[in-house]
Amino acid sequence: MLYGVLVDLVPVSRQARELDHKWTNNESSFWASGGEWRFVTRAQIAARQARRAEEREQGDLGVGFEIHTKDGRPIGWMGINWLNPTHRLAMLGAKIGEPEYWGGGYGTDALLLLVEYAFDWLDVRKVWLATSSMNARVIRQMAKVGFTLEGRQRQATLAEGVWHDWLVYGMLREEWPGREALVERLGLRERAQTL
């Protein structure tokens, strides 16, 4: 378990597997996918989870966590979707499935935990992620944490009839100021006190 200021990252449980159905079918998937509205059945969720378990067995090195508030409510996922041991690259993914928690610093606190885990425990040399240019929360989050915009694939996602670019952000290990420094700089403890 990884302990943060506003959230903790905890191993994936059965309870959150159930929530996967809700979080896949609500607007959080629209943002996470860059514009797709997904409607999936519980059977499809179960099949997807079985497929992922099999991929893990076959050596897929990703790692997933639930994001829990400090009072223990599961609000989403955060994890390394893809880990390349040769190049020591980790591709990150995140979804807060409960929209009332967006914009409150929870996702950034979780991201700091995950980046620290990737650099300090998994010894990767670079973390990266991709998002749609319509996703203002992620763009702001990248700026706050100090990721660099490394790539822009033009008109790569279609959301409700409008084309958006696909943005790739990365951070090298030597650019990481450390989690504690960012917790301070971003005032996460002060935020926690106002909850």
Ligand X SMILES: CC(C)(COP(=O)(O)OP(=O)(O)OC[C@H]1O[C@@H](n2cnc3c(N)ncnc32)[C@H](O)[C@@H]1OP(=O)(O)O)[C@@H](O)C(=O)NCCC(=O)NCCS
Site residues (vs ligand X, CB under 6 A)? 28, 31-32, 76, 94-96, 102-108, 129, 131, 135-138, 140-141
Smaller CB separation from ligand X, 32 or 113: 32
Smaller CB separation from ligand X, 4 or 105: 105
Chain position whose Cβ is nearest to ligand X: 107
How near is the Cβ of 77 to ligand X at its closest, in Å?
Answer: 9
Q: What are the DSSP calls for 138-172, one per residue?
A: HHHHHHHHT-EEEEEEEEEEEETTEEEEEEEEEEE
How near is the Cβ of 59 to ligand X at its closest, in Å?
Answer: 25
Q: What is the C-alpha to C-alpha distance for residues 137 and 148, in angstroms, rounded to an integer?
A: 15
Smaller CB separation from ligand X, 38 or 174: 38
Picking from 138, 113, 125, the residue whose alpha carbon sits closest to that of residue 31 is 138
How near is the Cβ of 150 to ligand X at its closest, in Å?
Answer: 14
Torsion of CA 67, 96, 98, 135, to 10 degrees: 160
